[in-house]
Chain A
Amino acid sequence: MEKEILIKVNNLKKYFPMASFLGSSHGKVVKAVDDVSFDIKKGETFGLVGESGCGKSTLGRTITRMYDATEGEIFYNGVDIAKLPKKELSFYHKKMQIIFQDPYSALNPYMNVQEIIEEPMKLHTNISKVERLEKIEFLLAKVGMSKSDMQKFPYEFSGGQRQRIGIARALSVEPEFVLCDEPISALDVSIQAQVVNMLEDLQKELGLAYLFVAHDLSMVRHISDRIGVMYLGKIVEISPSGELYKNPLHPYTKALLSAIPIADPKTAKANNRQVIKGELPSPMDVPSGCRFHTRCPYVMPICKEEIPILKKMDQEHFVACHLY
């Protein structure tokens, strides 16, 4: 049962010029996203993992046109939104929504819950005030909060509750796709589970597609259907989530997985953890060829020279590595 493709990204690039002293860039750029291609299917959760500086957050924000792409194509249901002028994006901002990592900066502290959730609704829908209020009540119930919360302000809520308000806000315009930009990293473990379960329920009910950007690999594996691993601006491996953990192909993925501390003492002792050496290179000065070659235990001469491309290994499992 092939799911339809909702978003298709082709050769996407997002470069940030480094502001230098006189305001011009003098050529130094941060290649936050460097030639990324992949797709997200309707109703699926695509997990995007990687460490700091890999560009996963930037990728998500570029896809939703929060940032403008430097180059490349972003097809949403067949329409290339990468080059659309801002005026025509309005329709797509209804279809694509975002929830953020930091519940403390995602909500305006001077607006009450009703105003916060209303904001996108006012811009994208024509319904009357009465209908809006009804809808907000309905959304709050969906995220496990109540009507009495509508007049309250963010400071009156905990981190987990604020995250729910952010989710209600995102859902208020009935999107098809939600970018979840590290939505649970700032929450306590016991609250993370609450929010994740809720996101899963909402997905089932509303048929939402998620791009779940996170660094907590166990949580990503739990919630995602497919996972993309990023390193220094490039996707190095894409695979269905169970398969990725059972059979990682890319050396970086292997190192990443083996670095996760498993919450099980016996396994931890038995596990021969492959501790990866070295530091992440600066995104301003990316290594030539395969970005990972400076730290790769299997490095070969070709790795320094040629950038590997994503190759299909088998059903849905792609890897960009010269070993294959």
Chain B
Amino acid sequence: MQNRRWKNVLSELKHNKSAIFAIVYLTVIILFSVFAFLLPTDPDAINVGNMLASPSANSWFGTDELGRDYLTRTIYGGRVSLVVGVAAMLTSTVIGVLVGTISGYFGGFIDSMLMRIVDVISSIPWMILVTVVSIFMQPGLKTIIIVIGLFTWMEIARLVRAETLSIKEREYVEYSAFVGEKSFAIILKHIIPSVFPTIIVAATTSIAGAIMTESSLSFLGLGIQQPMSSWGSLLQSAQGNLGTAPYMAILPGVLIILTVYSFNKLGDVMRVFVEPKITAGEK
């Protein structure tokens, strides 16, 4: 079975150049983030004498308004953005899958209750939620992960619930219940594997979404605080210097776009990996 999955993925990659780019790009970004500590420069090293210097041999992407090496700050910033993206994704996915499968499988009162909760939270304007939460919690890395995680699970829950509703009608699920399998075992063994492709796609999309959201929030000053940087917060600082140092906006901006794009593409590839060929014959 493993062979077949890898074969599918390889064939997909062969025909999908953008997928190859996405995987290579993400690998590079992740490597840089993980091994950032090996970099010679310190992202927090303030060097007032060298403020807003243009890109040079010393500083490939110049320095920011406090003289800190921009490239280094961007790489460390990338690490933060990725961590937020993944952590928020995990939070929202776990909650979303739990709520979605329970709601879909048990139906009835539980379903109504859970879906009402989903509706209520979804209807509150995002910004208000975030702002209110920021009042009660210190802005920072942990806060922003929690905020994004807790307020983006609804979409996944709805998707998962819809899938669950259709999967639970399948005969192998009915058989399991008939033969006496406990409900939670059914959800684990039968529903979740079938929902997995949807989850994977939703999860990779949500990383992309989380990075975007974090960037926006940090840009607005509600997210990552100095001296920590993320691509979004870098963009925010870059605002004031657009005239003199446009590179400050371009670098994190481009990276955000490429990363979001690549995660989405990764989602496509993951889906191919996860789906076994359900029908035997070719039609």
Interface residues, chain A, CB within 8 Å of chain B? 23, 64-66, 89-90, 93, 98, 100-102, 104-112, 116, 119-120, 123-124, 151-159, 162
Can you list 21 contacts pairing A with B, beta carbon distance less than 8 Å? A64-B178, A66-B174, A93-B178, A100-B171, A102-B171, A104-B278, A106-B172, A107-B172, A108-B173, A108-B189, A109-B278, A110-B193, A110-B194, A110-B276, A112-B1, A116-B172, A119-B176, A119-B179, A119-B181, A123-B179, A162-B280
Q: Is the contact region of chain A dominated by helix, strand, or loop, or is it mixed?
A: loop
* 1/0 contact string of B122-160 vs chain A (CB within 8 Å): 000000000000000000000000000000000000000
Picked from A65, A124, A155, the residue with its CB within 8 Å of the CB of B278 is A155
The answer to whether the Cβ of B279 comes within 8 Å of any Cβ in the partner chain is: yes
Bound-state Cα–Cα, A106 to B281, Å: 17
B181 to chain A, nearest CB (A): 6
* Complex contact A93–B172 (CB within 8 A): no
Q: In chain B, residues 69-115, which have Cβ atoms closer than 8 Å to a Cβ of chain A?
A: 112
List the B side residues contacting A123 at CB < 8 Å.
179-181
Given contacts A102-B171, A104-B278, A155-B279, whether A109 and B194 have CB atoms under 8 Å apart is yes
A172 to chain B, nearest CB (A): 10
* Complex contact A90–B193 (CB within 8 A): no
Given contacts A112-B1, A158-B281, whether A100 and B193 have CB atoms under 8 Å apart is no
The answer to whether the Cβ of B7 comes within 8 Å of any Cβ in the partner chain is: no
Q: Is the contact region of chain B dominated by helix, strand, or loop, or is it mixed?
A: helix
Q: Which residue of B1, B173, B180 has the most chain A CB atoms within 10 A of its CB atom? A: B180
B69 to chain A, nearest CB (A): 49
* Complex contact A153–B174 (CB within 8 A): no
B160 to chain A, nearest CB (A): 16
* Count of inter-chain pairs, beta carbons less than 8 A: 68
Given contacts A110-B194, A112-B1, A119-B181, whether A155 and B280 have CB atoms under 8 Å apart is yes
List the B side residues contacting A156 at CB < 8 Å.
280
Given contacts A109-B194, A153-B1, whether A159 and B280 have CB atoms under 8 Å apart is yes
List the B side residues contacting A109 at CB < 8 Å.
194, 276, 278
Q: In chain B, residues 154-194, which have Cβ atoms closer than 8 Å to a Cβ of chain A?
A: 170-181, 189-190, 193-194
Bound-state Cα–Cα, A57 to B12, Å: 42
* Complex contact A105–B170 (CB within 8 A): yes
B50 to chain A, nearest CB (A): 58
List the A side residues contacting B177 at CB < 8 Å.
66
Q: Which residue of A65, A120, A155 has the most chain B CB atoms within 10 A of its CB atom? A: A155
The answer to whether the Cβ of B15 comes within 8 Å of any Cβ in the partner chain is: no
Bound-state Cα–Cα, A163 to B78, Å: 52
A183 to chain B, nearest CB (A): 12
Given contacts A93-B178, A98-B178, A124-B179, whether A108 and B172 have CB atoms under 8 Å apart is yes
Bound-state Cα–Cα, A172 to B175, Å: 14
